[in-house]
């Protein structure tokens, strides 16, 4: 309840993004945050609206650029918990460079991708996560490109926390977001979040039939990177759970001498309204 505001989402009824919103709200409460300790930065796309639907600091950025903004927010206020969020087009097409560099930088933010394998906001075109052969208005004879595999890419780029979930599995999704927030470093959480309006292939039923929970794989060990990569490849990326976590590597912030004690915080800004207005005016 604490993270609910009075803005009514204008997603289509049944859109997977509703559950992601609920899971973020629950996870934030479960880790003991209050709204002014959380910042949500989003990109462009249906999913990008999420920063306006949760009671917290919010920044609805530009296409593919939620990660540079989120990293700036974290560096400017060490006390904030920062969640970046967007769609698969946002993060794995125009924003892919930022995704990979944020991963290798290991800055302490949580990145949640609502992966619906299509561009929903622009009314249904092939995205980098659409499978080969996928037919849309932009590929009427079927896509001739291969889909990107974000989990494989993340592991190759040196990710310290890689997870996937399914938007109907609210309990699991909430637990994974909580774990991502608690992780000291960059956490990438890819959420299969169906677009009920434009993607008639990757539906809720399709995911239910095709996803494998890592908890059902005997002796799966999320600290074993080789097993993580092998499992993703064997299941064509269709697994849910914490795929890989390295809790030993230091985050970007921890490697900056003095940041933990002396990095910027809200208190350091301590601006009067007059000073704030003057500063804001300089940017207008």
Report in angstroms how near the CB of residue 49 gets to ligand SF4 at its nearest: 8
In the complex with ligand SF4, the residue whose CB is nearer, 107 or 195, is: 195
Residues interacting with ligand SF4, by CB under 6 A? 11-12, 15, 17, 46, 116, 120-121, 195-198
- Rounded to the nearest whole angstrom, what is the least distance from the CB of residue 144 to ligand SF4 in the complex? 24
- Degrees, nearest 5: CA angle 50-56-57: 90
Measured CA to CA, the distance from residue 99 to residue 92 in angstroms comes to: 7
Nearer CB in complex with ligand SF4: 12/256: 12
Closest contact distance (angstroms) between CB of 100 and ligand SF4 is 24
List, in sequence order, every residue forming a beta bridge with 39; answer none if it has no partner. Answer: 57, 82
List the beta strands (DSSP E) in 53-172: 57-60, 81-87, 110-115, 161-166
Cα–Cα distances (Å) from 191 to 115, 153, 283, in that order, read: 6, 16, 36
Residue 116 CA to residue 13 CA, distance in Å, equals 15
Instruction: Point out which residues pair with 48 in neighbouring strands.
Output: none
Q: 138 or 197, CB closer to ligand SF4? A: 197
Q: How far is the CB of 33 from ligand SF4 (least distance, A)?
A: 26
Nearer to ligand SF4, 117 or 231 (CB): 117
């Amino acid at each position: 309840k604490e993270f609910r505001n009075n803005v009514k989402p204008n997603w289509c009824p049944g859109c997977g993004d509703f559950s992601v919103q609920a899971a973020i709200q629950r996870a934030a409460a479960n880790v003991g945050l209050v709204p002014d300790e959380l910042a949500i930065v989003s990109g462009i796309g249906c999913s990008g609206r999420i920063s306006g639907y949760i009671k917290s600091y919010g920044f609805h950025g530009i296409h593919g650029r939620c990660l540079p903004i989120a990293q700036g927010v974290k560096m400017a206020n060490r006390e904030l918990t920062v969640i970046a969020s967007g769609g698969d087009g946002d993060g794995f097409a125009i924003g892919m460079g930022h995704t990979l560099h944020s991963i290798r930088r290991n800055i302490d933010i949580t990145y949640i991708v609502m992966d619906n394998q299509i561009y929903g906001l622009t009314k249904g075109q092939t995205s980098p996560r659409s499978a080969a052969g996928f037919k849309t208005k932009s590929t009427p004879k079927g896509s001739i490109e291969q889909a990107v595999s974000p989990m494989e890419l993340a592991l190759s780029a040196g990710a310290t926390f890689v997870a996937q979930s399914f938007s109907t599995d609210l309990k699991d999704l909430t637990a994974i977001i909580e774990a991502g927030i608690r992780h000291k470093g960059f956490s990438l959480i890819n959420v299969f979040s169906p677009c009920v309006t434009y993607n008639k292939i990757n539906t809720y039923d399709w995911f239910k039939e095709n996803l494998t929970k890592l908890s059902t794989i005997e002796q799966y060990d999320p600290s074993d990177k080789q097993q993580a990569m092998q499992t993703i490849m064997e299941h064509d990326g269709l697994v849910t759970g914490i795929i890989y976590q390295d809790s030993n590597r230091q985050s970007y912030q921890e490697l900056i001498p003095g940041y933990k004690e002396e990095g910027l915080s809200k208190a350091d800004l301590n601006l009067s309204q007059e000073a704030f207005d003057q500063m804001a005016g300089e940017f207008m």
